[in-house]
């Protein structure tokens, strides 16, 4: 039986254009398949296109050319912001290096915001938020604001926020980059558990100690995939 694909990219190019119309190519013909339930790490040298690729997968940036299938639906040509926002809020969760929490809101309110936008009632979204906080060990921090939390706790809040709408796919950009090694390890253990629950996880990292938690490492250089199953012992 053929395994179901969460993500499929075919000959994806992405360029940015300067004010003088000069073209700056960033992605140069990306072909990529990621299976449902797979935990994939994107690695590569700085400027290699990792974050741009993640942003395209997340529907944050339009591709210049090529095709992008999300769970077999061709969304690469979608340009309507409302439709893209709906897809992001329904199907994807985002986790960022700098947490991106709203400082004036408590952990609970930060977590429940995407559910509010999705139309869930207050009781439903807060019950889900407390269940998520309990699962990552921060239920006693529900009414603390981000400035009252450690970096590891803030990232756990960010993870809970990414899960509040029960997305199938998690996108993480350097999720341990702002954390000490102990906190980073704890976050990766959470990711491992989420993978066991069937989540598809796509993570950008430059750290071998983090990448080793993934099922597979995809290595990019100069906007191209140079290795679809990179081994950390390889030379590059």
d(CA 7, CA 102): 30
> pLDDT tens across 87-123, in order?
888 899 999 988 999 999 999 999 999 999 889 999 9
> pLDDT tens across 10-63, in order?
999 999 998 888 999 999 999 999 999 999 999 998 889 999 999 999 999 999
* Record: fold of 39-51+81-227: Rossmann fold (3.40.50)
Q: How confident is the model at residue 81 (pLDDT cuts 50, 70, 90)?
A: confident
Res 43: pLDDT: 97
For the chain, the 3-state helix, strand and coil shares in percent, each to the nearest 5, are 35, 30, 35
Report helix, strand or coil for 216. strand
| pTM given for the model | 0.91
Residue 234 in this model has a pLDDT that exceeds 70 = no
Res 19: pLDDT: 86
Nearest to 169 by CA among 197, 144, 141, 127: 197
The angle at the Cα of 179, spanning 173 to 180, to the nearest 5 degrees, equals 140
């Amino acid at each position: 039986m053929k395994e179901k694909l969460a993500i499929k990219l075919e000959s994806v190019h992405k360029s940015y254009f300067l004010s003088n119309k000069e073209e700056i190519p960033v992605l140069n013909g990306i072909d990529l398949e990621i299976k449902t339930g797979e935990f994939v790490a994107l690695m590569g040298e700085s400027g290699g296109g990792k974050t741009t690729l993640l942003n395209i997968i997340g529907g944050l940036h339009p591709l210049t050319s090529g095709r992008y299938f999300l769970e077999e639906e061709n969304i690469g040509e979608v340009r309507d912001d409302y439709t893209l926002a709906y897809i992001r809020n329904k199907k994807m969760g985002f986790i960022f290096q700098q947490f991106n929490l709203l400082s004036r809101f408590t952990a609970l309110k930060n977590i429940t915001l995407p559910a509010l936008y999705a139309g869930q009632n207050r009781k439903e979204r807060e019950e889900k938020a407390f269940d998520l906080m309990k699962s990552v060990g921060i239920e006693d921090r529900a009414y603390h604001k981000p400035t009252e939390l450690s970096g590891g706790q803030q990232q756990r809040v960010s993870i809970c926020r990414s899960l509040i709408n029960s997305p199938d796919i998690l996108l993480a950009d350097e999720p341990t980059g702002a954390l000490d090694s102990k906190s980073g390890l704890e976050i990766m253990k959470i990711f491992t558990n989420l993978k066991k629950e069937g989540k598809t996880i796509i993570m950008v990292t430059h750290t071998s100690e983090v990448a080793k938690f993934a099922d597979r490492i995809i290595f990019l250089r100069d906007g191209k995939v140079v290795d679809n199953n990179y081994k950390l012992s390889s030379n590059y």
